[in-house]
Structures are given as structure tokens and as C-alpha cells.
Amino acid sequence: MAQVSLVDDDRALAGDDRLPDGLKVFVVGSARSGTSILYLALHRVFRLSGPGESHVFPIFARMIHEFYRYKENLVAKDVKNKRVLAYRLDTRQFRAHMIAFIRSFYVAQFPSGAWLDKTPGAEAILAAPLIREAFPASKIIATKRTGVEVVRSFGAKFSTDFEETCRAWAGSMGALHQTVERFPDILVVDQFDIANRPAEVAERIAAYLAQPEKTGELADFFRATEFDRSSTHSWQNRMTLSDVDWSEHGKEIFERLCGPTMRRFGYPL
């Protein structure tokens, strides 16, 4: 197994991506869309270690974004004189140092070189380019679920603003659409299919992770697992607006904020 020092900026800046061998899996998706059940399945069937919740890559994605944005604002304000010391900061070098730190962090947390990283939300989905830059051989699996079910499930478990929840689902699905267009090799699985077609989904996941021999065990795990205990709706049918007890005003809000995204993904309203 290749050894990687905790901090080796010179090699990182030179583009060295020698990392410990091992299966590196990142699970992303909107909240309440099956990221947790998929995490448990991969943890138990593929024996991958992970903390349950990560949220690491959104932090670094924000840092890099804010770095670029702040410097761009300086450039816009002082194009001619360039008297600010921050002009000398090299954006490519900064990003390379961030990549080096991310790698060293994960190697320190998972010396074996294999891990399972799960973070729900739009920011984690949009961090896919950073994930792939840091770990080119990593596998990314994204979960999705109809907006009606996600908003209903989220409201049943958490005390959150209804409009905020609608926007969060639409934002996550928009991020997924954008990211998959750029990285078509990302595996996308629907929680509805996990519940209703476990063997088919298990086969896709096991093949994607290059361990087809795990298909049967993975399918059995999906069959034996309860997916969303806060929902009494039959998993054999997708939930629509006719199945929820929202007010007409609430349904109008959902239609306005989530309707276009529902249609884009072929989900029934």
C-alpha cells in the first residue's frame, strides 16, 4: 500500500495523487431521500468505515468559493493599481493546498485507504468536482426521492419552515441535475426503487463498486430494512399531493417551488 505523508505540499502542488488503495465511496442526495439507509447498507455489506455523517466537503467548497469571491471583488474595485497584498495570492495554489489538506485529513482518519462518506444536501452534491479532484478514483452515489415524500417526511420528523423545506428539496434536486450532467458516471438511485426493486438496485450498486458478488447480500439488506418510519404511506406507490393533509395554500406553495423540478424528474404531482 502506498504511503502518504500527512502534509506534503510540494508533491500536492505538483499534481501528485498517490493515495492509499481502497474503495472510497461518497453518498450524497437530498435530506430524507435514502442517504442514511444507503450508508447503512454499504457499511454493513461492503464493510466500509464511516462516521455516519460527514459534512467535510461542503466546508472546503465554501472556503474555496469565498476565497475566489473575495478576491474577485478586490479585483473589481482596484483593477488598475493592484495595491492590495491579496492580489499576490495564487488561486490555483490555494486550491492545491486545500486539496492536499483534504487528502491528508482523510488519510489520517482512514489509514486503510477505504472509507464511506455520507453528507445530504445541495452543497454536498455540488462538491462533486472537489471530491473528484481530491480523490479521482472515488465512487459517488446520489439518492433521490419525490419532493412530496421528502417534504412530508421532513415535516414529520423536524420542526422546519414548510417553504424552506420545499426550497431545500428543489435546490438539492437542481444540484443533482447539474452535477450528473457534468459527471455522468455518478450512480443515481431512487429510494422508491430501493424499496420496490431491491435486487435490481443492489445489482447496479454492486457492479458500480466492482463487487458483484455482494449483490445478493445487499438486496437482502434492502428487503429487510424499514425505510422511513415517519411515513405510513405504502411504498408501492409514489406519494402525490392527493395523499397529504396539507392545506390548499401549502399545496400551492409546493406546486410553485417544487412543481417544475418534480416534472423534470418525472415525479407525479
Band (230; pLDDT cuts 50, 70, 90): low
Instruction: Report, as an integer, the average pLDDT of 215-235.
Output: 78
Specify the higher pLDDT residue, 263 or 7: 263
Domain hosting residue 56, numbered range: 9-264
The SS3 of residue 251 is: helix
Nearest 5°: the CA angle 215, 217, 220 is 105
Does the global pTM surpass 0.85?
yes
95 assigned to some structural domain: yes
Q: What is the pLDDT of residue 228?
A: 58
2 assigned to some structural domain: no
Q: How far apart are CA 143 and CA 133, in angstroms?
A: 21
Q: Which residues contact 125 (CB under 8 A, 6 or more apart)?
A: 28, 29, 142, 172, 175, 176, 179
4 assigned to some structural domain: no
Strands (E) across the chain are located at 24-29, 115-118, 139-144, 187-190
- What total number of domains does the chain contain? 1
Instruction: Report, as an integer, the average pLDDT of 203-207.
Output: 98
CATH of the domain at 258: 3.40.50.300
3 assigned to some structural domain: no
Q: How do residues 33-90 score in pLDDT, each as one tens digit? A: 999 999 999 999 999 999 989 999 999 999 999 999 998 888 777 766 677 888 888 9
